[in-house]
A and B are shown apart, each in its own frame.
Chain A
């Protein structure tokens, strides 16, 4: 508690910055909306081959830097890469596109899509026949209400990391795994991040193994927000299972992402349910690493969420042609997707690039587990689910709430929020 002697000034300045970035010439936004062909021709940027502004995160920037330079040589279009914090991109994109200040293209995750479309900040990209060059799950994920938005470049899903020095066989079921983990005599039989607010993303494979997906699907395979499946009998069974695991100490809300990673890397557990983002740390620790399918807890197949990353095109770009060219005829190609996978360590969305990347065991294993996964829902109704889901799980795991009752309450909360 530091007391600022002039809190108003400081507070005012901070809010001013926030408000200015919000307004970001709120009055001027309309200038970009109705651009007549005449003014377009007159604009100097358009005359000189144009330029593209692309938002990327720091990890992807180095590869795209090269791709952008190549693309500039080929097409004469300059690509400006702006490095953004991945977690801030969605929000910034939503706020800046309407003002006309957003980028032409942004990197993003497919589950933002429903929200982006509902706010009118992205536009469909026609992949045409090229759509067949991408893995089906990635195209499905990038589709919303019948149109494809953006170009996918990588898929991402959970798998079970195993320290093969401690346990030499992949477990079939959750109970097998715990048993093997106990025999290994480490501090934890199994690790997964939960954290105080719950982590439904990481718990989802176990939930599906009880036959409780979040939403049902319609005839086209798209998620149907009216068909909420999470509260079915399997869901209640899953809730009871969570309570049991909480009591047994196999799931702990005190374990967050950092702790889980650190404990696994230091050899305190033979099993770690996580994504490709933690593989590097495990490899650095020189451990004998194996990547296994996720064991079932409820008897059915344990399906993780598959998240697809890709590039979206702004609804207000003035360089649609260059943007489409860059994405479909450049980023979507096997060469660039292969390069992207080499830094990102995620299975590429391009089929040919994926086949080539399969020589890497990690990619092949993650890809295999992902093949049995389901795309994370990209409908905006999902936001309401996330909001109540994790908290309920955390409360059940800590034993604070009766599992069946709490799970039903969560379901009705979600229903209420969706119907609002």
Chain B
């Protein structure tokens, strides 16, 4: 089949202008001139500004100075750029740049920041939070002490508690210990109703009334405004020395810079807080033998998985594209539609469906195709790897088929005709003429496909969840885990999360993918120059 030469592009001249419909003409006029467009511009920027001002006040209200200043700078920038005459490139670039900063630079920066901290289980907040949580949870009710019905009064010195003990009324506040009081002298206080209490919850629940002048007796506190209990705290925080003292054992816990109060014998008080740990997470990834082993085997499999996935899907897709591109083939359109179907099905669901079909005892594959055989598709390490590749092939070949079909159709038929006349056999034509030409246009897609598979979380997690588990690894990783699913498990599976380590892994993956992409794109360029 000879291909007709493409139509000459329409000449770009006055002719095109004349072809505009009247409505389009009006729009073109309006937008190129003043009033309408300025009005739209003002409205849009007003909306942006209003949103920004709202966000600004919220941020200031929460004392988030960094966020507030970023919002302020961006808002000013938007106003300047769009109201300034000229600066046309800036007008086009600004939105993209802002989104790039927020969604790319910030994310990478933040991941980088987390990778230098010990953020994770037991270290998920700052030091102030840790101290208050420690003091909060170490309040112990004095054993055998009764609950006192309590009334909360408001006086000159703030809130006070009135309780009745042994027929005697006692009152006390944050500074003064409980002391007997005459009913008559209660006049200077006002009793708080439940609604009042609700309005001053923080004050009420943080009110600690010393039971006596002896601090060891503890304090009365109430958490519902009705009943007060006597508490002592086993931990005492010394602000000046920055130490926690266990008052029962006398053990002193110091801030030794590991993100938790630590005693001399190494025991730690939990919760701790998150601190900067420098390159510890990266060092652990490469030196901790149990992590290093897992990281190494997972990395090797990740490369194998990505390479094999790209290769298998590409060759199957290419093969089908060639077959369905041959005019001797009947019903090509139907075949093409059928081949694209797996692509139309969400990969996420595809994985789940295949997991069901590959179930050892009840799956379609063993039951129907292998006549009830017990083949452990998903639980044997090697078969699981094979299954993952197989399912990924099923999910991925349609894309390659589409791409290759497109690329093949753009290769002029004359080339192969000429080669045939010169005596080339079909395979030679394919290998020496079609494939190189095809690769020029497909190679960048193969690289991005490699990068995609490198982080192809869906297939792995929906099919095997990374399993079967590696026995000797110190981390929860399995035979089919790729780097990204390992990161997910380190960060979000199980109750011992380690966001710091997970972020360090993410950075490592980022570096690997970046290096591969740079090298491969350089190679592709060479390929292009070849032609």
Task: Please give the residue numbers on chain A whose beta carbons come within 8 Å of chain B beta carbons, in ascending order.
Answer: 1-5, 7-9, 11-13, 15-16, 19, 22-23, 25, 27-31, 33-35, 37, 40-41, 46-50, 75-77, 90-91, 94-95, 97-98, 112, 115, 117-121, 123-126, 128-129, 145-147, 196-197, 252-255, 259, 315-316, 318-322, 324-325, 328-329, 380, 383-384, 386-387, 391, 394-395, 398, 409
Contact = CB atoms under 8 A, between A and B. Distances in A.
A387 B64 CA distance: 39
Given A49-B199, A76-B195, A321-B198, A30 B128 contact: yes
A98 B270 CA distance: 15
B453 A126 contact: no
Contact of A16 (B106, B147, B379): B106
Contacts of A33: 126, 128-129, 132
Contacts of B252: none
20 contacts: A2-B452, A3-B399, A7-B451, A13-B103, A31-B61, A34-B128, A37-B158, A117-B270, A118-B122, A124-B136, A129-B147, A196-B379, A252-B361, A316-B129, A321-B223, A321-B224, A324-B223, A329-B224, A386-B494, A391-B471
A98 B123 CA distance: 10
Contacts of B114: 22
B59 interface: yes
Contact of A126 (B136, B141, B497): B141
Nearest to A262: B362
B129 A46 contact: no
Contact of B199 (A16, A50, A95, A129): A50
Closest 8 CB pairs of A and B: A1-B396, A120-B133, A98-B125, A120-B271, A28-B62, A28-B64, A254-B361, A118-B270
B476 interface: yes
A47 B363 CA distance: 61
B309 A319 contact: no
B456 to A, nearest CB: 6
Contacts of B363: 254
Contacts of B195: 49, 76
A5 B451 CA distance: 10
Interface string B358-400: 0111110000000000001011000000000000100110010
B126 A29 contact: yes
Interface string B416-460: 000000000000000000000000000001001101110110010
Contacts of A98: 124-126, 129
Interface in B436-495: 445, 448-449, 451-453, 455-456, 459, 465, 467-469, 471, 476, 492, 494-495
A41 B67 CA distance: 26
B376 A398 contact: yes
Contacts of A16: 102-104, 106-107
A8 B104 contact: yes
A15 B449 contact: no
B212 interface: no
B124 A95 contact: yes
Interface size class, chain B = 35 or more
Interface string B194-207: 11011111111100
A186 to B, nearest CB: 16
Which applies to chain A's interface (DSSP): helix, strand, loop or mixed? Answer: helix
Given A120-B125, A146-B140, A398 B379 contact: yes
B200 A40 contact: yes
A120 B361 contact: no
A2 B467 CA distance: 23
Interface string B122-152: 1011101110111011011100000100000
A28 B107 contact: no
Contact of B198 (A13, A75, A383): A75
Contacts of A1: 309, 313, 347, 392, 395-396, 399, 449, 452-453, 456, 459
Nearest to A90: B495
Contacts of B204: 321
Nearest to A197: B467
A94 B125 CA distance: 10
B110 interface: yes
Contacts of A395: 471
B229 interface: yes
A134 to B, nearest CB: 16
A322 B224 CA distance: 7
A37 B67 contact: no
Interface in B58-77: 59, 61-67
B121 interface: yes
Interface string B203-245: 1110000000000000000011101010000000000000000
A12 B271 contact: no
Contact of B63 (A28, A121, A315, A387): A28
Nearest to B380: A400
B496 A383 contact: yes
A98 to B, nearest CB: 3
A231 B261 CA distance: 33
Contacts, number: 236
Contacts of A112: 495
A387 B202 contact: no
A48 B343 CA distance: 55
Contacts of A318: 201-202
A15 B111 contact: yes
Residue among B124, B204, B227 having the largest count of chain A Cβ atoms under 10 Å: B124
Given A35-B202, A253-B379, 14 more contacts: A3-B445, A19-B110, A46-B199, A46-B200, A46-B201, A50-B199, A120-B129, A120-B137, A121-B133, A147-B139, A252-B361, A254-B362, A318-B201, A321-B224
Contacts of B378: 196
B134 A120 contact: yes
A3 B201 contact: no
A7 B448 contact: yes
A106 to B, nearest CB: 16
B465 A197 contact: yes
Contacts of A129: 147
B62 A31 contact: yes
Contact of B476 (A31, A49, A50, A387): A387
A15 B133 contact: no
Contacts of B225: 321, 325
B271 A27 contact: no
A348 B79 CA distance: 61
B67 A27 contact: yes
B361 A255 contact: yes
A306 B128 CA distance: 36
A31 B128 CA distance: 11
B452 A40 contact: no
Contacts of A398: 376, 379
A2 B110 contact: no
Nearest to B158: A37
Contact of A25 (B67, B399, B459): B67
A176 to B, nearest CB: 25
Nearest to A99: B125
Contacts of A13: 103
Nearest to B109: A19
A29 B468 CA distance: 40
Contacts of B449: 1, 3
Contacts of B158: 37
B271 A40 contact: no
B376 A147 contact: no
B110 A23 contact: yes
A160 B476 CA distance: 32
B441 to A, nearest CB: 13
A147 B64 contact: no
B110 A147 contact: no
A94 B492 CA distance: 11
A319 B201 contact: yes
Contacts of B359: 254, 259
Residue among A22, A28, A380 having the largest count of chain B Cβ atoms under 10 Å: A28
Contacts of B64: 25, 27-28, 31
Contacts of B132: 33, 120, 315
Contacts of A124: 136-137, 139
